[in-house]
A and B are shown apart, each in its own frame.
Chain A
């Protein structure tokens, strides 16, 4: 040993590293032998849920939950033909269960499904108005608590049984839940619905003064097929559905919230003719002031739009006419906002978040007013200023009529 002390020191170091490796293999062995794979779920054993509907049972307590589960094998084929070979088998499978809570209903699905339900990819939770009238949070709690379920699932309201929505034809898509997703994402081309996901809902529900809104989806019969239709907005106050806004009022709501991203306004011209203007950009500024007990709201909307269609033979492309158009569109927008305000005040539901604005920008005032916010909201004075600029005419100036009908 004395002859080569360094050699031994060297070997020691070597083996220490070897020990580490062995150590690691032992660890691996332990894991594999321990039976492992507790949370494993193989892809082929998953039932991927894309849509969930929550409904109340016809009688008795609890919830009735329906699922839209994708049949992967039927949906395959990058070329887009329906179904690999089945053709007749629908690419989705609708399942319906019930239980005293939503969670138990979800678990009960395992009694009917050969595969485990997998919720992480769920696109939308659709609750029926009955549930919404009884209280939404009790139905929603599971979706917030469960680790698989996401806060970015869309939350929708449907007047009938949600299973109809899930079972409806999906239009160009293969799965209606994916269609719902696309319908909602395309809201910016109409700005007639307001998308809400579970996270948004929770966030607004946490605000003491605000009321929530939910988009409404319904099924419409077209040529014998049941198709989906987005239709207005439900108003939820204190977690209960209290009323609904139609498309126009929804637009008004979006104006105030500054969420208008596109869409069109149609204005009435003399002689019953109409012109439709497309909204390009829109910006909203809201200011809420509380002077003593009086709440004053200032809403300022700036819109840039373009002439999209006209039904009159007049030449609307002159500067004077364009100014007139802008004023008319401003009037329409103000009407929309007024309509929404009227509805909201009727329901005493602060869907615009005026109270929250006070909380954020004038905390003392909020503390003063929060106790009787409903009253203050209903009595709020709202001042609306709309500024429209028609920037564009499209590709033509005046309509193509042989005779000149414009000013000469």
Chain B
């Protein structure tokens, strides 16, 4: 049955024909023809500015500057392009010679990056990316002047990943800013960027970042091939790519990690991972993504290790509570009351006296209401959102209990679940599903049902891989050395190796214990030479 579905999907893939590449003509030597051709490409868009000018004073040549309003830095164009073109050209230059464009580029224009281009399509593309185009009458070539400059959002702390201590900067929507931020974290020539344009219509810049010699070469190659296979017309966010390249798109669990923090990306690159930047979004994908990564926060490394360790354990506990507590409550409350201590049973029994629904219905219902309140709180403007939370939490919770519709213990359990949910935000999505599945199973088969669900989840997690790395590692397959960043957060000086399955091409991160950096560098050099 599902095979049919699968085949249908596969056929659908094949039926989608690659759109034939559009043929572009070369530029003509005639200025007016070129202008008309470009205008035809872009339609009558009012943001396309054409500035015709008479080059001077030395030569009498007509030309035109084209740019998109808003994508360029107006000041740069005025000061460094238009002014020199009008005033700085020496006499005696033959404006129709081959060298004239070179001369302009080398001696006249005060712009950092200048390219020569002869094909109309490339010219239009550059124009759309924020370049200024200089067309000269009588030349079949255009100069592309890098004058990009548009409004940017300032760097501020990402809302989704708050930390207490440590760097508070977050990525912005600008790709170059983002890569620059990463460069500032890792001043090492081995930090390599590879850019490609993806999205047939959005032509979004996508950058693969990795540390040459640290990241596994095969992993980088796999990322490249997977990205190349992405055939989509638009990429507006990192998730567009993540859903395409993840190993298990149907799995509940994320096999591609997301972050908005440069320090996180830097740390992951230094572990041997690969980051994928997408232009236009502050979110960066990192692969391979493992299950345990969801429980690691940058704060873990900014605080003393003993504190980080216990906090991490509380995070594990919170995730367990978030997923299991409603199910356990249902199982205990409607199947295994013998496990509840006697006085507690009497108290709970008194609190649930007279409620009309089975426990499982109560829990699922209140869970659903909670999810709705949460969503409402996110979508609405902030002040209203808070009102919603208060109404939801206090009014509904209190009224439901007073009216005797739902027992007070249910509200307590749902509330604990709700709070615990937010502690591991990366697993919010899987959490909702697992919680629901486990609760329903507990409602049907009690603890046995929960155990079956847990077994299924375990088998599923064990079968997952992220870019070749088993998802549950280092727990299974067990690698004791890597538990230093899972079971505990070992002191920084003790984490001398990278995760074995990710950074195996160069495992040693630093010498064991304390050594003077100078000596270490010397030793390394000797080793490299020897």
Contacts and interface: CB of A to CB of B under 8 A. Distances in A.
Direct chain A–B contact by Cβ atoms under 8 Å: yes
Interface of A: 1, 4, 6-8, 10-15, 17-22, 24, 28, 31-32, 36-37, 39-44, 46, 48, 50, 70, 72-73, 75-76, 78, 84, 118, 120-121, 123, 148, 150, 178
B229 A4 contact: yes
Contacts of B352: 42-44
Contacts of A50: 342
Contact of B350 (A32, A41, A72, A123): A72
26 contacts: A4-B229, A6-B225, A11-B9, A14-B248, A15-B2, A21-B251, A22-B2, A31-B444, A32-B440, A40-B446, A42-B359, A43-B333, A43-B334, A43-B337, A43-B345, A43-B352, A48-B337, A48-B342, A48-B346, A50-B342, A75-B350, A76-B350, A78-B347, A118-B337, A123-B342, A178-B342
Contacts of B350: 72-73, 75-76, 84
A15 B250 contact: yes
B359 A14 contact: no
B2 A36 contact: no
Given A7-B229, A15-B250, A121-B338, A75 B346 contact: yes
Given A12-B6, A43-B333, A76 B345 contact: no
Contacts of B351: 76
A12 B456 CA distance: 21
Contacts of B250: 14-15, 17-18, 21
Contacts of B353: 44, 72-73
Given A1-B14, A14-B249, A44 B334 contact: no
A169 to B, nearest CB: 19
B348 interface: yes
Interface in B62-84: none
A186 to B, nearest CB: 17
A17 B457 CA distance: 12
B443 interface: yes
A179 B301 CA distance: 53
Interface of B: 2, 5-6, 9-10, 13-14, 225, 229, 247-252, 333-335, 337-338, 342, 345-355, 358-359, 407, 437, 440-441, 443-446, 449, 456, 460, 463-464
Contacts of B355: 44
Contacts of A36: 443-445
Nearest to B453: A24
Contacts of A75: 346, 350
A46 B349 contact: yes
The 4 lowest CB-CB distance pairs between A and B, nearest first, are A18-B250, A120-B338, A76-B350, A72-B349
B289 to A, nearest CB: 16
Given A44-B349, A75-B350, A28 B441 contact: yes
Nearest to A76: B350
Contacts of B446: 39-40
A75 B349 CA distance: 10
B335 to A, nearest CB: 6
A381 to B, nearest CB: 47
Contacts of A20: 460, 463
B233 to A, nearest CB: 17
A7 B463 contact: no
A19, A22, A28, A43: which has the most chain B beta carbons within 10 Å? A43
B334 A11 contact: no
Contact of B335 (A10, A15, A40): A40
A32 B463 CA distance: 27
A11 B229 CA distance: 12
Given A44-B352, A72-B350, A13 B247 contact: yes
Given A11-B10, A123-B342, 18 more contacts: A11-B13, A15-B9, A18-B250, A19-B2, A20-B460, A20-B463, A28-B440, A31-B440, A32-B444, A42-B333, A42-B334, A42-B352, A42-B359, A44-B352, A46-B337, A70-B349, A72-B346, A73-B353
A70 B346 contact: yes
A40 B12 CA distance: 47
Contacts of A43: 333-334, 337, 345, 348-349, 352, 359, 407
A36 B6 CA distance: 32
Given A7-B229, A20-B460, A42-B358, A48 B338 contact: no
A115 B150 CA distance: 74
B10 A39 contact: no
A20 B252 CA distance: 11
Contacts of A15: 2, 5-6, 9, 250
Contacts of B251: 17, 21
A17 B347 CA distance: 44
Nearest to A84: B350
A182 to B, nearest CB: 12
Nearest to A15: B6
A70 B345 CA distance: 11
Contact of A148 (B338, B345, B460): B338
A96 B39 CA distance: 98
Contacts of B337: 41, 43, 46, 48, 118, 120-121
A40 B334 contact: yes
Contact of B252 (A21, A31, A178): A21
B421 to A, nearest CB: 21
